[in-house]
């Protein structure tokens, strides 16, 4: 298991380096064919794609390699990491700051995705029926507990009105609750009797 994880991590870093190399070659070709071009024009996309596809570790490596490459090969004096023009120094600083910001955003997005995945796993594995619906009363999510309790599979329930779960004499109550929510009126907690929802089984 650990070997598999290490190989996957190595693969992600290698792919990030490959994207950096492609960006460097493309930038050289642009300079050769079209003359003067923005020093980071091909490196920004490489950094963004690397972070999105392979994570912030490979993304950070791509940022560092890109900055060094631009400083040495695409800014005066060529061949030395010694910048003399204030504009070049500012461009390099902005590139690194932008990269750091992208890393932070990617990290936060990944943490949020992990939290959503964990919550989804908890909901899906719960023995309780957990049903999501929109303000129109259309069912938008349906877990295994709901399937066991009401007898409908997720494919059968999703996209249908929540009223399929209620006996006819309770329809007005749900319509009233949804109307209150749509109008921004707070719905106080209430106890539902066992007949509020019905099972198809």
CATH 3.30.450.20 in the chain, residue ranges? 127-182
Looking at per-residue pLDDT, the higher value among 27 and 123 belongs to 27
* Range of 24-28, 113-117, 179-183 with top mean pLDDT: 24-28
Q: What percent of the chain has pLDDT over 90?
A: 33
- Residue 59: what pLDDT? 93
Residues 5, 9, 15, 19: is their CA dihedral positive or negative? positive
Per-residue CA distances from 187 to 28, 174, 184, 190 (Å): 63, 12, 9, 9
- Residue 188: what pLDDT? 61
- Residue 111: what pLDDT? 87
CATH placement of domain 127-182: 3.30.450.20
pLDDT digits (tens, 9 = 90+) for 55-106: 889 999 999 999 999 999 988 888 877 788 888 889 999 999 999 999 999 8
pLDDT digits (tens, 9 = 90+) for 1-27: 577 788 999 999 999 999 999 999 999
Give the pair of three-digit tokens for residue 140.
């938008």
CA distance 62 to 23: 10
């Amino acid at each position: 298991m650990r070997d598999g994880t290490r190989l996957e991590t190595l693969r992600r870093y290698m792919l990030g380096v490959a994207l950096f190399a492609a960006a460097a070659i493309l930038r050289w070709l642009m300079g050769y064919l079209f003359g003067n071009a923005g020093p980071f024009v091909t490196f920004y996309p490489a950094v963004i794609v690397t972070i999105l596809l392979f994570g912030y570790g490979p993304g950070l490596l791509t940022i560092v390699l890109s900055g060094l490459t631009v400083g040495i090969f695409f800014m005066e004096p060529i061949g030395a990491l010694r910048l003399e023009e204030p504009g070049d120094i500012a461009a390099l600083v902005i590139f690194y700051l932008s990269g750091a910001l992208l890393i932070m955003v990617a990290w936060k997005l990944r943490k949020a995705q992990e939290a959503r995945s964990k919550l989804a796993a908890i909901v899906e594995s719960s023995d309780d029926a957990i049903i999501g619906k929109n303000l129109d009363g259309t069912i938008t999510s349906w877990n295994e507990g709901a399937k066991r309790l009401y007898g409908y599979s997720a494919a059968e329930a999703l996209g249908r009105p929540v009223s399929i779960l209620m006996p006819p004499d309770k329809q007005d109550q749900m319509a009233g609750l949804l109307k209150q929510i749509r109008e921004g009126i707070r719905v106080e907690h209430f106890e539902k009797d066992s007949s509020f929802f019905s099972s198809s089984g």
